[in-house]
Structure 1
Amino acid sequence: MRPQETNEDATALALRALVWTLGEPDRAQRLLDTTGLFPDDLRARAGEPAVLGAVIGFLCNHEPDLLACAADLGVKPETLAAAGDML
């Protein structure tokens, strides 16, 4: 992310990445399995920096997902990763 971008921008990008991740049932299940979150927890805590950071971390740990998500969101993969660092 560029230096002038804020945590608000990182949060918004991470929320978009979360929506993208949940858009495919198998990937959504992998997210839940990897993070240990339950669907109700995810719904209740979706805006929390720790949860959003975990989503970005999940994507960064599986490069095909990171690349696909970044492409679909119209950002560079490193921008997505940097959003996770900001959270």
Structure 2
Amino acid sequence: MRQRETNQDAATLALQALGWVIGDATRASRFLALTGIDPADLRARAGEPSFLVQVVAHLESHEPDLLACADALNVPPAALVQARAELETA
């Protein structure tokens, strides 16, 4: 049971990170361009653990964004990294 709750927490945090990414036109465009995902796919896949892993991995690949996102979400950057790791095993 605890593992499920942890994965739900990880998914929630990753969804919040996705909201942060797409909440800014420049960041959203960069994310879409680098991942090759179109807006329709983004909407369709937003709740999938594998997609949420991509979101956080994208942030990890550009440390300034990882730090800014963590700050905006009021969590340590390591929490985002941990969320990705948990979602990878979901």
- TM-score, normalised to structure 2, is 0.89
Aligned positions, number: 84
Which AA in structure 1 matches 2:14? Answer: A
Q: Show structure 1 runs of 4+ deviating over 3 A.
A: none
Deviation at 1:36, TM superposition (A): 1.1
For 2:25, the equivalent position in structure 1 comes to: 25
Compute the TM-score of the two structures, normalised by the length of structure 1.
0.92
Identity %: 55
Aligned residues: CA RMSD:
1.2
Letter paired with 2:35: T
Unaligned residue ranges in structure 1 (runs of 5+): none
Partner of 1:73: 73
Output one character per residue of 1:12-45: Cα deviation in whole Å (capped at 9) or x when no partner: 0000000000011111011111111110000011
For residues 38-67 of structure 1, what are the alpha-carbon distances to aligned partners after superposition, in whole Å with 9 as ceiling and x for unaligned?
100000110001110000000000000000
1:61 aligns to what? 61
> Residue 37 of structure 1: SS of its match in structure 2?
coil
Matches within 5 A, 1:1-12: 6-12=6-12
SS, match of residue 51 in structure 2: helix
Unaligned regions of 5+ residues in structure 2, if any? none
Task: Give secondary structure in 1 for the equivalent of 2:47.
Answer: coil
Higher helix proportion = 2
